[in-house]
A and B are shown apart, each in its own frame.
Chain A
Amino acid sequence: MALHVYGVVSAATPLPGGLRGRQEAPVRLVVHSDLAAVVSEVDADARIRRDDLLGHARVLESLIEGATVLPMRFGMIVATDEEVARNILEPGQSGLTDLLHSFDGFVQLTVKAQHDQDQALRDLLHERPDLRVLRDQTGKGPAFYPAQLRLGEAIAAGLEVLVSSDAAMLHDQLSGIADRMVLGDVAGQNQVLNAALLVQRSARTRTDEAIARLSKTLPDRLRLRYIGPQPPYSFVDGELAGEPVWA
């Protein structure tokens, strides 16, 4: 057996009762000085399944409800408690303490936007008579192959423009809501925006209301998903990268 490390909290953090992590193992703290690593026993040789990924996220999301947490990327496996203390908490002490301090009272909320493809296509054709002309030039059969290609290429380009303008609009709207915002990669077709918002715990209700208001004003083609509260995944990312202590 080994230890899966979920994240780092201050040593005084109470764990929610009955919290279980990967492979249903009870979650506990490894304390060293003022810091604690959140860990659970894990069979490190077992194949990673979706429940393992979700388990990692669930533990962190349970903790962030009541405490400041620095999330580890999935996959930190350490042999023993001593090793956690000696190789993570001890050398990282000042860096981790500073980070915990700087995120004190903050949570991450993520807003993802995507297009409903058919509605986006419909809007695009309404706005662009030239695309309707291209569409009317197509038909069935090999003879129309070049026309189909022309149409498809023009549609792809048109959708790209629509994605960019919708993303810019959402970015403007969201930047007024958060203390800090980081845009993540937008992966995949129909995806418009992936924005991580850092907001004060005390401002959560206000943020929920602002997102709800925003979602009502959007065109039908845009669908928002609102995820959280999460530990500040997107904001610790890179903060310690390149620091010798972590190398």
Chain B
Amino acid sequence: MTVTQRTQNRYLERPAPSSLADVIDTILDKGLVIDIYVRVSLVGIELLTIDARIVIASVDTYLRFAEAVNRLDLTENGPEGLPELMEDITHGAAKQKTDGALEAVKEKVTEVFSGDDEDEDEDDEDEERSRPRGRRQPEPAKKSAPSRRRESSRE
């Protein structure tokens, strides 16, 4: 993920610009709103952010936690904190390490928009494939449609 590369070590000397994940929970969720001008259909995006907020408490989750704990080597404590290891982790080793365990749900949301994300090799894909997976894309507004989706409530 873009974000972790900006903090290659744990020492945060200055803030970094928003990544896509940050953008999703700020500009889509916060800021001034003037209702009649919410033109862009955010229906699909709203669904995704709701999805992201469901913290799954299920049998499946429990089993994956159990699996993660069973894989864990409790004696493996020493090398933590070495700069090169930290860097390695922030470059994606951590992701593999927790493979099979739960990933931040947010990541899922990020993927949806990551069609041209240069940091995710496997996501080097065309525009078509960057649509939300398994989810219907919100209809883009028709050319002939009125420019305000809630025009009727306007005056």
Given contacts A44-B39, A122-B77, A153-B62, contact A88 B94 (CB under 8 A): no
Instruction: Give CA–CA (A70, B34) in the complex, Å.
Output: 13
A172: interface (CB < 8 Å):
no
Instruction: Give CA–CA (A220, B79) in the complex, Å.
Output: 11
Instruction: Give CA–CA (A221, B74) in the complex, Å.
Output: 14
Interface SS of chain B: helix, strand, loop or mixed?
A: loop
- Give the chain A neighbours of B64 by CB distance below 8 A: 152
- Give the chain B neighbours of A81 by CB distance below 8 A: none
Instruction: Give CA–CA (A39, B34) in the complex, Å.
Output: 15
Task: Establish whether residues B34 and A190, one from each chain, have CB atoms under 8 Å apart when the complex forms.
Answer: no
A109: interface (CB < 8 Å):
yes
Q: Output the least CB separation between A206 and chain B (Å).
A: 12
Given contacts A152-B64, A189-B55, contact A117 B101 (CB under 8 A): yes
Instruction: Give CA–CA (A229, B116) in the complex, Å.
Output: 25
Task: Establish whether residues B62 and A121, one from each chain, have CB atoms under 8 Å apart when the complex forms.
Answer: no
Interface SS of chain A: helix, strand, loop or mixed?
A: mixed
- Give the chain B neighbours of A109 by CB distance below 8 A: 15
A143: interface (CB < 8 Å):
no
Q: How many A-B residue pairs have CB under 8 A?
A: 253
Which of A2, A76, A119, A223 interacts with B38 by CB under 8 Å?
A76
Task: Establish whether residues A224 and B37, one from each chain, have CB atoms under 8 Å apart when the complex forms.
Answer: no
A93: interface (CB < 8 Å):
no
Instruction: Give CA–CA (A109, B52) in the complex, Å.
Output: 23
- Give the chain A neighbours of B136 by CB distance below 8 A: none
Task: Establish whether residues A156 and B62, one from each chain, have CB atoms under 8 Å apart when the complex forms.
Answer: yes
A212: interface (CB < 8 Å):
yes
Which of B10, B45, B107, B147 interacts with A44 by CB under 8 Å?
B147
Task: Establish whether residues B69 and A54, one from each chain, have CB atoms under 8 Å apart when the complex forms.
Answer: no
For this complex, into which size category does the number of interface residues on chain A fall?
Answer: 35 or more
Instruction: Give CA–CA (A58, B19) in the complex, Å.
Output: 10
- Give the chain B neighbours of A187 by CB distance below 8 A: 25, 49, 52-53, 105-106
Minimum CB distance partner of B75 in chain A: A122
Could you give, for residues 21-65 of chain B, a 1 whenever the CB lies within 8 Å of some chain A CB and a 0 otherwise? 011111111111111111110100100010011011101011111
Which of A60, A110, A118 interacts with B22 by CB under 8 Å?
A110
Task: Establish whether residues B72 and A152, one from each chain, have CB atoms under 8 Å apart when the complex forms.
Answer: no
Task: Establish whether residues A215 and B33, one from each chain, have CB atoms under 8 Å apart when the complex forms.
Answer: no
Minimum CB distance partner of A155 in chain B: B65
- Give the chain A neighbours of B101 by CB distance below 8 A: 117
13 new A-B contacts at CB < 8 Å, known A72-B32, A75-B39, A76-B38: A50-B130, A71-B32, A72-B31, A112-B22, A125-B69, A131-B69, A135-B70, A152-B65, A155-B65, A191-B104, A212-B12, A215-B10, A230-B18
What are 23 residue pairs bridging A and B, where the CB atoms are less than 8 Å apart in the complex? A45-B141, A53-B20, A73-B29, A74-B28, A76-B34, A76-B37, A117-B98, A117-B101, A118-B98, A132-B74, A155-B68, A159-B65, A187-B52, A189-B104, A190-B104, A194-B25, A211-B12, A215-B10, A225-B12, A226-B7, A226-B12, A233-B31, A236-B31
Residues of B within 8 A of A (CB): 3, 6-7, 10-20, 22-40, 42, 45, 49, 52-53, 55-57, 59, 61-70, 72, 74, 76-77, 80-81, 89, 94, 97-98, 101-107, 113-117, 127, 130, 137, 140-143, 147
